[in-house]
Amino acid sequence: MAPFGPGTYRADVWRRGAGTTLDRVNPRVVAALFLLAVFALGAVVLVARARNEQPVGVGSGSRFEGFVMPAGVRAPDFQLRNQDGERISMRQFRGRPVIVTFLYTTCEETCPIQAQTVRGALDQLGHDVPAIAIAVDPPRDTPERARAFLAKQRALGRLDFVLGARAELRPLWRGFAIRPQSVTQEHQARFTLVDSRGYQRIGFPGSQATPEGLAHDVRLLERES
């Protein structure tokens, strides 16, 4: 039998003491601590993923005022009609940047501000570029209401509504990642700048867009054309 020295005694006491302490811990507490650790790890992973997916924009060294969107995302093409019954498509604007926003004709709060932001950007530029407002509240967005809205905002001839049935507009909402107007939710107020090749390049939340910022980024896209 091996000698029972002081070191052996201390190790034996530690093992017996540790076992006694662990035995006294409530199994429910152990389970709760384990779950807390799992949730904490999950939160860290989600935060890291969100940071990796956040678009480059203001404050990150970008030359653009808006947020730079992921590369290679085309604007959805379409063949629909505007407020005057004229055919309108994204493809017809190739070779020039396009200002895209999302409005509905009975809106009295955010949409007039967005329309005025587009007007102000075109004034800042000193010349017009294609600017379209994709309707988000069919079938209430009719040609008559669209013309009345644009006339009230003094945007006739400078901003075109893109009108259609819900089934026709849904691919556009999906392609631009926009939530349309509904009974329970307000639509997403946003601007997207499409470059001369038809790619979505710059995004502005509606509350952060200014005429000066839009005009600045359109000028940069024009220089690329």
Q: Residue ranges of the domains in the chain?
A: 6-53, 67-224
Amino acid 29: pLDDT: 52
- Tokens for 191, please give them: 């601007």
d(CA 21, CA 18) in angstroms, rounded, equals 5
Judge whether 217 and 193 are in contact, CB under 8 Å. yes
- The correct answer on CATH 3.40.30.10 for the domain covering 67-224 is yes
pLDDT tens-place values along the chain, 225 residues long: 445 444 444 444 444 444 444 455 555 554 555 445 544 544 433 333 333 334 444 445 689 999 999 999 999 999 999 999 999 999 999 999 999 999 999 998 899 999 999 999 999 999 999 999 999 999 999 999 999 999 999 999 999 999 999 999 999 999 999 988 876 676 778 999 999 999 999 999 988 999 999 999 999 999 997
Tens of pLDDT, residues 70-118: 999 999 999 999 999 999 999 999 999 999 999 999 998 899 999 999 9
Contacts of 209 (CB under 8 A, 6+ apart): 66, 114, 117, 191
SS3 state of residue 192: strand
Amino acid 80: pLDDT: 97
DSSP, res 203: E
Amino acid 187: pLDDT: 74
d(CA 152, CA 138) in angstroms, rounded, equals 20
Judge whether 117 and 214 are in contact, CB under 8 Å. yes
Rounded to two decimals, the pTM is 0.72
Kind and range of the H or E run holding 190? strand 190-194
Place of tokens 């924009």: 57
